[in-house]
Structure 1
Amino acid sequence: MEEACALDNVKHQLVQELLDLGPEESGEGTSGESCSKATGGNEDEPTAAALTKKKRLSDLLQNRRARNLSQAQAAFPKRVLADAELTKFLQEDAIDASCDPLVWWHDNQRRYPLMAKLAQKYMCICATSTSSERMFSTAGNIATPERFCLKPHKVNMLVFLARNLP
Structure 2
Amino acid sequence: MDFRTADLCDQFSDDIEVCEPLFRSYGGRARFAGRIATIKCFEDNSRVRELVKEPGDGRVLVVDAGGSMRRAVLGDMLAQSAVDQGWSGVIIFGCIRDSAAIAQMPLGVHALGTLPMKTDKRGEGQRDLVVRFAGATFRPGEWVYADEDGIIVARRSLV
Q: What's the TM-score once normalised by structure 2's chain length?
A: 0.20
- Higher helix proportion: 1
- Higher strand proportion: 2
Q: What's the TM-score once normalised by structure 1's chain length?
A: 0.20
